[in-house]
Amino acid sequence: MKFTTKLLHGNVSPNAETGATTPPIYQSAAFYQQSAAAMEKIFSGKKPGFVYTRVNNPTIDYFERRMTLLEGGVGSVACSSGMAAVSLAVLNILKSGDEIVSGSGIFGGTYSFFNGLSAYGIKTNYAQKSTTTCFEKYITANTRLIFLETIGNPKLDVPDIKAFSQLAHKYHIPLIIDNTAATPYLIQPLKHGADIVVHSVSKFIDGGGNSIGGTIIDSGRFKWTEDKFPLIKNFTQYGPFCYLAKLRAGLFKDIGTCMAPLNAYLINLGLDTLSLRMERVCASANRLASYLKNCSKIKAVNYPGLPENPDHETAKRQFGDKYGAILTIRVGTKEKAFTLIDNLKYALNAANIGDSKTLVIHPASTIYAADTEEQKANAGVYDDLIRICVGLEDIEDIEEDFKQALAKI
């Protein structure tokens, strides 16, 4: 079965009771069990079943099964947001004294979260470049995971996942990948050796900009050793499911970061069209990048699809000649960047990616406003830089929109 058929039919089927072809919204907090003995079994994990939506729910389960299949994992946990997924994915295995090695061009919220972990005794070291040589310099005896994005947002760097999985495994630590910007349509990092994948499904998985959600998918392959990961000790009886069992019974349940059933329903609908949307936005972004490169008022265009981009070959090999929807441009000054944004008619000024509409933002004055100049430079953020995330519009109209707005700067 190929990707899109799998997306629509794999691991899920019409509703067993009613035949509904769209998964129903189970907008219920709790689920009745006929006997106390059955409830006991479900609670102890000896029998599958639904108890309470903070732990699991049929609409959310339907979405989880789809994401598990699309990313090629053994299971997944849907979360209330992408940030819930990122934070729980790492906190599930870390304790005070542990360290993370992360890329520096990562999503601003993740960067802020990692920095905040220092209050709990967890330190993050940021490698300036997404190369294994640069990362290896930051690995110490306390490092417990490597964290990267398949396409750094907003740096747009593209790490070689296979090489990073070899590096992580050399030190017996997992490789955790945020696959939000590429989606499983472009790459399934677990197949390239990553151990755990996270997503903000608020973006391309949903695709309509209508819901916040996240997901954590586990390959089930990582060998958690007790010396490095003592917290996983009580869950080793679950074999390849031990990471997810610990997560669902632990912080996920205890902090209370479940996805809302209504959001799961909307995201399930959005997911149906993932392939069509990704095909469209990748083609449109590639065309817009080439167009903007030839505009005299634009100083630089960053897009992995451009042949001169330093990560072009890695991206081409990993993503099958598709490069995602996000590009950045530099226009010379912050004032010009603001004027350009203010004059765009269709491209909306909004702090999001993966919407059906084209979105732009000035990262330096918004998402990265609290960072130092050095931190911004490491993240690929400059005062004159605009991030563009191409939507589903007719690309001729978006080109025209940039043309008229560029005439005003």
Interface residues with ligand PLP (CB under 6 A) are 81-83, 86, 107, 109-110, 149, 153, 178, 180-181, 200, 202-203, 212, 214, 353
Q: How far is the CB of 89 from ligand PLP (least distance, A)?
A: 11
CA dist 347 and 302 (Å) reads: 18
Give 83 or 398: the residue with its C-beta nearer to ligand PLP: 83
Q: How far is the CB of 149 from ligand PLP (least distance, A)?
A: 5
Give 278 or 353: the residue with its C-beta nearer to ligand PLP: 353
Give 83 or 360: the residue with its C-beta nearer to ligand PLP: 83
**328: which strand partners?**
302, 387
CA dist 377 and 302 (Å) reads: 14
Q: Of all residues in the chain, what percent are helix, strand and coil, respectively (each to 5)?
A: 40, 15, 45
Give 247 or 406: the residue with its C-beta nearer to ligand PLP: 247
Give 69 or 353: the residue with its C-beta nearer to ligand PLP: 353
CB 85 within 8 A of CB 267: no
H or E element in which residue 265 lies: helix 261-271
Residues belonging to the chain: 409
Q: How far is the CB of 86 from ligand PLP (least distance, A)?
A: 6
Alpha helices in 96-224 (DSSP H): 108-116, 132-136, 161-170, 183-186
Q: How far is the CB of 47 from ligand PLP (least distance, A)?
A: 32
Kindly write down the DSSP assignment for every residue of 211-257, as one continuous string.
Answer: ---EEEEE-S-----TTT-GGGGGGGGGGGGHHHHHHHHTHIIIII-
Helix (H, G, I), strand (E, B) or coil at 209: coil
CA dist 147 and 176 (Å) reads: 5
Instruction: Give Cβ neighbours of residue 377 (< 8 Å, ≥ 6 apart).
Output: none
Q: How far is the CB of 11 from ligand PLP (least distance, A)?
A: 23
Give 73 or 152: the residue with its C-beta nearer to ligand PLP: 152
CA dist 66 and 57 (Å) reads: 14
DSSP 52: B
Q: How far is the CB of 9 from ligand PLP (least distance, A)?
A: 27
Q: How far is the CB of 210 from ligand PLP (least distance, A)?
A: 12
Q: How far is the CB of 408 from ligand PLP (least distance, A)?
A: 29
Tokens 């039919």, located at residue? 9
Q: How far is the CB of 123 from ligand PLP (least distance, A)?
A: 21
Rounded (5°) CA angle 73-317-208 = 60
First to last CA, the chain: 50
Total Cβ atoms within 10 A of residue 317: 12
Give 42 or 102: the residue with its C-beta nearer to ligand PLP: 102
Give 42 or 390: the residue with its C-beta nearer to ligand PLP: 390
Instruction: Give Cβ neighbours of residue 320 (< 8 Å, ≥ 6 apart).
Output: 186
Give 148 or 167: the residue with its C-beta nearer to ligand PLP: 148
